[in-house]
Amino acid sequence: MTHTDRLWELLLPLGPYRRQGVYTAGELKGEGEALDGVLSALEELEREAMLDTAEGRGLEEIEDLLSHRPVAGTAGARRAALSALLRIGGDSFTVAALNDNLKGCGLNAVVSETGEKGVVEVRFPDVPGIPDGFQQLKQIIEEILPCHLRVDYVYWYITWGELEERFPTWGDIEAGGYTWGELEKLVK
């Protein structure tokens, strides 16, 4: 139901307002449409003001507050990444807290201790090889992690065993027309 219809419902019992009145109908229609516009603007404002429901402008406004934008493609992934970045606090120095903070990259990145003092490893378990946008990811990761840590990045590729399972001969590989970069990322 539009605001025009609601105004008519409210005012008809008062008597002077009749649907037949050209001036009255035009006035109420104009006021109703203006109220519909206000409602639409308020609904958008409510949606964009909350990180859990923001889709466009709200996400951009939050990203503008941060020094880097997360590397994330969808609105849901951007919301999750921004939420993780906003959770970073002064007590975020355990491995579990660091891993939670790294969700702010927009890509699944996992930090682990190496056993060597002051050195951690960062892996990207969902992405074989070096992830797209790695330089931006690296910059975000190194701002999230404590500055006294050395960060070693670990990448994973197809193994020779997996390659032999998938392609029994070199002819099979050549028939696929793969580049070396494509071939090394053909993990299952």
pLDDT tens digits, one per residue of 17-38: 665 566 667 777 888 889 888 9
CA distance 148 to 136: 20
pLDDT at 77: 82
Tens digits of residue pLDDT in 69-81: 777 778 888 888 8
Query: Can you say how many angstroms the Cα of residue 107 is from the centroid of all Cα atoms in its chain?
Result: 9
Rg of the chain (C-alpha set)? 28
pLDDT at 98: 80
Choice between 7 and 119, residue whose per-residue pLDDT is larger: 119
Statement: residue 153 has pLDDT above 90: yes
Q: What is the pTM of this model?
A: 0.56
Per-state percent for the chain, helix, strand, coil, to nearest 5: 55, 5, 40
Tens digits of residue pLDDT in 40-63: 889 888 888 888 888 888 888 888
Choice between 73 and 117, residue whose per-residue pLDDT is larger: 117
CA distances in angstroms from 130 to 36, 111, 116, 126, 185, listed in the order given: 50, 16, 24, 11, 9
